[in-house]
Homo-oligomer: A and B are copies of this chain.
Amino acid sequence: MNFASDNTTGAAPEVAAALVRANSAPHAMPYGNDPLTRGLAAKFSRLFEREVAVFPVATGTAANVLGLSLALPTYGGVFCLEDSHIYGDEVTATEMYTGGARPIPLRGVDGKLLAPELAKAIGQHRPSNTHAVQPAAVSITQISEFGLVYTPGEIARLAKRAHRHKLVVHMDGARFANAVAALGCRPADITWRAGVDILSFGGTKNGCFGAEAVVVFDKARAASFLYRRQRAGHTFSKMRFLSAQLDAYVNKGLWLELARHANAMMRRLANGLARIPDIELHHMPRANLVFVNMPTAMARAIEKAGFTFYHWGNAQWHTGRLVTAFSTAAADVDGFVAAARAASSGRKPKRPMAFLPRF
């Protein structure tokens, strides 16, 4: 009964089985020279409907900053939201992986980084001015850290603007599966077809033990990747155990099936909570993450009923962050809603609650 994060889950049965199966071979050549790893290129190329370069890593941060290191010179900057994972939750990983490039925090509009804001930021950051960090990339998170889903059109407009200024477009897809499931689109529609150049394709939060893939849509751009991964200590000698996870994860649409379940559980949760008058949802979630405001007493009561989730605030109001996952049970969702309802005053608060995001 944990709604704190989708990373509190374990691995999906199919993924766990694949790992055990990969371990049944007595030997495999190391560092990716094994059949499972070698097979990923074809699998991901099919998935994305074009030839791509794909590299397994074990964490989302590694995927993000290895990807960004392909795009950022030491004097370059990457635009991102101030609430993004790369800006706020990876300490100084971008700086470390690029030899000193800079993530530049933008405010966004309603939680998203869209083309007009990017255009403004580029203008303010003085391309070609030798005193200024040079805009070199833009990174968005799909679904965003607030749970919002970028539409293909939003991405395309952002990427078009980025490419006009020779910026590389990076997507942190820690919850990419939830976005594709929410939009009902093809993976290509919100990546290369919309102008995304490099994708962190997340697996960990949606059913893997710890496996992500860096997908580079223009293979030439990835020429230095293996050196970069090695110096970062992210080349697994027994890489087949990462690849086995990814292989099973994308096999027969498992990844989307898992994400659809997570999204469905969030809808069920949100629908339930939306009917409680003293709960305010940040937005009506299409994917598997939402922020909500609720009376502090209600947050405590839900917790007391056995449900774990992050929440913070003042004596009167709290903001909570709720995440569902591939393994969330409908009964747990219903239990959460029931606990909230039981603690409700039954009345709408007079003033709209302040939304207090913080992770």
Q: Using a CB–CB distance below 8 Å, which chain A residues touch chain B?
A: 1-2, 4-5, 7-11, 16, 19-20, 22-31, 57-66, 69, 73-77, 88-93, 95-102, 105, 124, 130-134, 204-205, 209-210, 224, 226-238, 241-242, 308, 327, 358
A165 nearest CB across to chain B (Å): 16
Q: Per a CB cutoff under 8 Å, which of B22, B74, B102, B124 touches A228? A: B74
| Copies of this chain in the oligomer | 4
Q: Is the CB of B102 within 8 A of A95?
A: yes
A33 nearest CB across to chain B (Å): 10
Distance of A22 Cα from B98 Cα, bound (Å):
35
Instruction: Report chain B residues within 8 Å CB of A26.
Output: 2, 9-10, 327
Q: Is the CB of A131 within 8 A of B90?
A: yes
A23 nearest CB across to chain B (Å): 4
Instruction: Report chain B residues within 8 Å CB of A93.
Output: 230-233
Q: Is the CB of B92 within 8 A of A231?
A: yes
Q: Is the CB of A62 within 8 A of B234?
A: yes
Q: Is the CB of A88 within 8 A of B132?
A: yes
Which chain B residue shows the least CB distance to A13?
B23
13 A-B pairs with C-beta separation under 8 A:
A5-B30, A9-B27, A10-B25, A10-B27, A59-B237, A66-B233, A74-B96, A75-B230, A90-B231, A92-B100, A96-B97, A130-B226, A232-B232
Instruction: Report chain B residues within 8 Å CB of A124.
Output: 358
Q: Is the CB of A230 within 8 A of B61?
A: yes
Distance of A11 Cα from B240 Cα, bound (Å):
12
Given A92-B231, A233-B62; A10-B23 close (CB under 8 Å): yes
Q: Is the CB of A101 within 8 A of B90?
A: no
Q: Is the CB of B30 within 8 A of A11?
A: no
Q: Is the CB of B231 within 8 A of A210?
A: no
Distance of A76 Cα from B224 Cα, bound (Å):
10
Instruction: Report chain B residues within 8 Å CB of A10.
Output: 22-28, 238
Distance of A74 Cα from B73 Cα, bound (Å):
10
Distance of A26 Cα from B234 Cα, bound (Å):
27
Contacts beyond the supplied A19-B19, A210-B242: 20 A-B pairs with Cβ under 8 Å: A7-B30, A10-B22, A10-B28, A23-B209, A26-B327, A31-B131, A58-B210, A59-B233, A59-B237, A74-B92, A75-B92, A89-B131, A90-B230, A95-B102, A130-B226, A130-B229, A131-B230, A204-B238, A209-B238, A234-B234
Q: Is the CB of A75 within 8 A of B236?
A: no
A138 nearest CB across to chain B (Å): 17
Distance of A124 Cα from B105 Cα, bound (Å):
14
Given A27-B9, A238-B210; A131-B100 close (CB under 8 Å): no
Instruction: Report chain B residues within 8 Å CB of A235.
Output: 59, 61, 130
Which chain B residue shows the least CB distance to A10?
B23
A272 nearest CB across to chain B (Å): 21
Distance of A259 Cα from B149 Cα, bound (Å):
50
Which chain B residue shows the least CB distance to A59?
B233
Instruction: Report chain B residues within 8 Å CB of A88.
Output: 131-132
A10 nearest CB across to chain B (Å): 4
Given A8-B28, A238-B210; A133-B58 close (CB under 8 Å): no
Which chain B residue shows the least CB distance to A101?
B92
